């Protein structure tokens, strides 16, 4: 029998705010434990939460970037549970009236464009961080109460590749939009993955299995693949897939039962009496919309249409916001988009990955790359010398022009110097000369190579070619 998998994602993204969602404690990663805490985020009796305006704005902007409608009226609810990561014994969330409704994400999966529907985005607060030690657990409340939004997709994906493409696009958009850095290592982007399988043609979805709290895209991909295979095997064996929550064991690449439906939580949601609802006017929505930055897809299109870059280049350059911003900055100092693109995609990304540093920290600044390109375009140096200069600046810093002078890298276009090398090459290689004269155009390349060798790579290839042709065609 043929089976079809259905996948939905609930993605939690930590917003880039300076303070927490409901109190003015600083939001900072890596601070000493329990140094950014107060009566509100520690759940002291009588402490009252107050909404962070910036978080609301970022959540709504995230919604606008994803084509959601902004709910004119939204409210707050308590999700009740007992767990030490939430000192109040409830999490403030949005149950039935979230900030953003509907929406979609268009992504390319294996060369085909697909549209994945988004059901809603709601605002909530993050939980504290637990560390498990011998005989107990430790709780650091610095993260408790920080702004967290949950983006819920429709169950509209059908493969691990779909889910991966969706998450990559989501991450890119959130980064471009300044909503979140989505640094998975810092837990800024985590997903709950819902997977079910049904025979093709069956109308109802199969039993839903939820894999909780995954931050690595690679693990999500593995977990989905494993889960689809496992559920199909259960159905094929005549069994029933249990609706349950499963964890993912990264070492084994397998999922395992964590919690079955029978002991599922009953959160007893009810309206949060401590927070007043939010009303957002159409005018406010338009003000926010006007502030939205250009998204990767728009940038990609502009790089092709306005800068004349190949689709491939535009895709590579825009896949990372930092790289794309760097490219934009370089374009303020040069008109040669293709040369900038070549240097970024070649030397820059290769050297950066070798060093494990970010493009923003590179010693080759956008201005310096533009200076190197100007030297190449003026034929002062060859393209290969340009790459050497790039590498020197990357490793040691310094000014491109000064380096070219100090190392004598300028190429020779001077006729008198070229003439000597050209004559020598012609005299020493009568066979190639004969072949060329007999009509074998390619033979000239050998002579050219001899001149380049004699000049130790400094001869201007264009000028050499011209000189050789002049002499041979005469």
Partner 1 sequence: MSNATQGMDVGYVAHLARLELTAEETALFQGQLDQILHYVEQLNALDVAGVEPTAHAIPVYNVFRPDEVGRSLDHDDVIANAPSAANGQFRVPKIIDQ
**Shortest approach of partner 1 to residue 215 CB, angstroms?**
14
Q: Is 19 in the site for partner 1 (CB under 8 A)?
A: yes
What is the DSSP track for 281-314? -HHHHHHHHHTPPPPHHHHHHHHHHTT---HHHH
Among 25, 107, 223, 425, binds Zn ion (CB under 5 A): 25
Beta strands in 94-155 (DSSP E): 100-101, 104-109, 112-125, 129-133, 136-140, 147-153
Give CA–CA dist 188/180, Å, rounded: 7
What is the DSSP track for 141-169? TTSTT-EEEEEEE-S-B-SHHHHHHHHHH
Among 1, 30, 32, 112, binds partner 1 (CB under 8 A): 32
383 binds, among Zn ion, partner 1, none (CB under 5 to 8 A by kind): none
Among 278, 372, 444, 467, binds partner 1 (CB under 8 A): 278
Q: Which residue has the tokens 């409704």?
A: 101
412 binds, among Zn ion, partner 1, none (CB under 5 to 8 A by kind): none
Q: Which residue has the tokens 């140096």?
A: 381
**Shortest approach of partner 1 to residue 144 CB, angstroms?**
11
Tokens of 372: 């190197």
**Shortest approach of Zn ion to residue 286 CB, angstroms?**
33
Distance of CA 406 to the CA centre of its chain: 40
Residue 406's H or E segment, with its range, is helix 400-406
**β-pairing verdict for 244-249 and 209-214:** parallel
For residue 191, give Cα distances in angstroms to 7, 58, 221: 12, 19, 12
Among 5, 23, 148, 173, binds Zn ion (CB under 5 A): 23
Among 56, 151, 189, 409, binds partner 1 (CB under 8 A): 56
Tokens of 269: 């949601």
Instruction: State the CB neighbour count (10 A cutoff) for residue 317.
Output: 24
Name which of 14 and 235 has its Cβ closer to Zn ion. 14
Q: Is 257 in the site for partner 1 (CB under 8 A)?
A: no
Q: In the range 191-250, which residues lie near partner 1 by CB under 8 A?
A: 212-213
Q: Is 447 in the site for Zn ion (CB under 5 A)?
A: no
Among 2, 30, 45, 53, binds partner 1 (CB under 8 A): 53
The residues of the shown chain that bind Zn ion, judged by CB under 5 A, are 23, 25, 38, 40-41
The residues of the shown chain that bind partner 1, judged by CB under 8 A, are 17-19, 23-26, 32-39, 42, 50-56, 75, 80, 82-84, 130-133, 135-141, 212-213, 258-259, 266, 268, 271-273, 275-279
């Amino acid at each position: 029998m043929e089976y079809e998998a259905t996948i939905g994602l609930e993605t939690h993204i930590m917003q880039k705010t300076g303070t927490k969602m409901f109190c003015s404690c600083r939001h900072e990663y890596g601070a000493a434990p329990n140094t950014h805490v107060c009566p509100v985020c520690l759940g002291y009796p009588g402490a009252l939460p107050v909404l962070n305006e910036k978080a609301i704005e970022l959540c709504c902007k995230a919604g606008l970037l994803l084509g959601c409608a902004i709910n004119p009226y939204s409210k707050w609810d308590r999700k009740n549970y007992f767990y030490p990561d939430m000192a109040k014994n409830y999490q403030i969330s949005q149950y039935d009236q979230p900030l953003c409704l509907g929406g979609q994400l268009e992504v390319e999966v294996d060369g085909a464009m697909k549209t994945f529907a988004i059901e809603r985005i709601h605002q909530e607060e993050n939980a504290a961080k637990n560390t498990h030690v011998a005989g107990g657990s430790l709780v650091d409340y610095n993260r408790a109460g920080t702004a967290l939004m949950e983006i819920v997709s429709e169950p509209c994906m059908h493969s691990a590749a779909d889910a991966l493409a969706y998450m990559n696009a989501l991450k890119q958009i959130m980064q471009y939009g300044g909503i979140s850095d989505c640094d998975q290592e810092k837990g800024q982007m985590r997903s709950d993955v819902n997977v079910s399988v049904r025979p093709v043609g069956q109308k109802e979805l199969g039993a839903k299995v939820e894999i909780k709290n995954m931050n690595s895209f690679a693990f999500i991909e593995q977990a989905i693949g494993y889960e689809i295979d496992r559920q199909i095997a259960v159905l094929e064996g005549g069994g029933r897939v249990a609706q349950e929550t499963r964890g993912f064991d990264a070492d084994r690449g397998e999922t395992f039962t964590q919690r079955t439906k029978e002991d599922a939580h009953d959160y007893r949601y009810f309206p949060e009496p401590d927070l007043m609802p939010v009303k957002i006017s159409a005018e406010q929505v338009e003000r926010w919309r006007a502030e939205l930055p250009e998204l990767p897809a728009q940038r990609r299109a502009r790089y092709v249409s306005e800068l004349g870059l190949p689709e491939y280049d535009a895709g590579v350059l825009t896949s990372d916001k930092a790289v794309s911003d760097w490219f934009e900055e370089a374009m303020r100092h040069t008109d040669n988009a293709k040369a900038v693109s070549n240097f970024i995609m070649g030397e820059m990304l290769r050297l950066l990955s070798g060093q494990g540093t970010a493009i923003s920290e590179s010693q080759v600044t956008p201005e310096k790359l533009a200076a190197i390109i100007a030297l190449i375009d003026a034929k002062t140096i060859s393209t290969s010398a340009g790459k050497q200069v790039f590498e020197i600046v990357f490793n040691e810093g310094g000014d491109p022009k000064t380096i070219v002078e100090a190392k004598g890298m300028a190429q020779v276009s001077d006729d008198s110097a070229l003439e000597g090398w050209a004559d020598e090459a012609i005299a020493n290689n009568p066979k190639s000369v004969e072949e060329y004269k007999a009509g074998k155009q390619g033979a000239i390349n050998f002579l050219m190579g001899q001149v380049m060798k004699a000049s130790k790579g400094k001869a201007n290839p264009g000028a050499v070619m011209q000189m050789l042709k002049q002499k041979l065609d005469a």
